[in-house]
Amino acid sequence: MGLDCIRRLAFFANFSPSELEQIFSLTRTLSLVAGQPLILEGEPADRLYLVKSGTVRLSRTSPDGRSFTLDIVGVESIIGTEALFQADTYHSTAHALEPICVLEFRQAQLEQLLLDHPELALKVIKSLSRALMESADAFSTAVLSDARGRLMHLLRRLGQRHGIQTPAGLRISLPLTHQELADMAGLARQTVTVLLNQLRAEGLIAIDGHRHIVLTESFPSASSVA
């Protein structure tokens, strides 16, 4: 669970055993059960986390008190980036969707770690850049696409992140509700339900025995999604 687990993460590739020992000495490994919060919106942003295993739901609370899903992230994702930018509080909540394991970095230790290891700092920057580009892509899709196009774009992104290839197609191995899909696509839940039924009737998706969405071979490529 310790150094062996860290070595398997791409974030720490090419580091020497002594460097890994130093990094490991500055971190804490946490294990959470499904539904347990990792960070809470409004709490002091003094820690950053790197997901080692499992998936995490990021959410935010609306002015009327409703919690809505921002994203679902997995292994090698960085959570609590507010700690990097010295924000006072976290802007979202992160809950474990399943049992997860994360590395915890305290803010002061993280700053020193990035100063001592520029290669690690570069990987963090690349990860944040990737997340920023995905956000920009999602925003442009929301502006330029109709409801069907937005949902299909979201399903493709989830498939790329969390998909497992099966004989039936690319299975999104997440226990997603229609409301969570609606939140992430910026649509009403009823609209998502209607669209999923349409896609299923057209043979573009299927639902397996565990209620996971499967993108079939007929699901259109990214270039053909409206």
Identify the residue with better confidence: 59 or 128.
Answer: 59
What was the pLDDT predicted at 107? Answer: 83
pLDDT band at 1; cut points 50, 70, 90: very low
Residue burial 192-219, b: 16+ Cβ < 10 Å; e: rest: beebbeebeeeebbbeeeeebbbbeeeb
Q: What is the mean pLDDT of residues 102-109?
A: 87
135 vs 131: CA distance, rounded Å: 6
pLDDT digits (tens, 9 = 90+) for 155-196: 998 998 899 999 999 999 988 899 999 999 889 999 999 999
pTM: 0.76
pLDDT digits (tens, 9 = 90+) for 192-215: 999 999 999 999 999 998 889 999
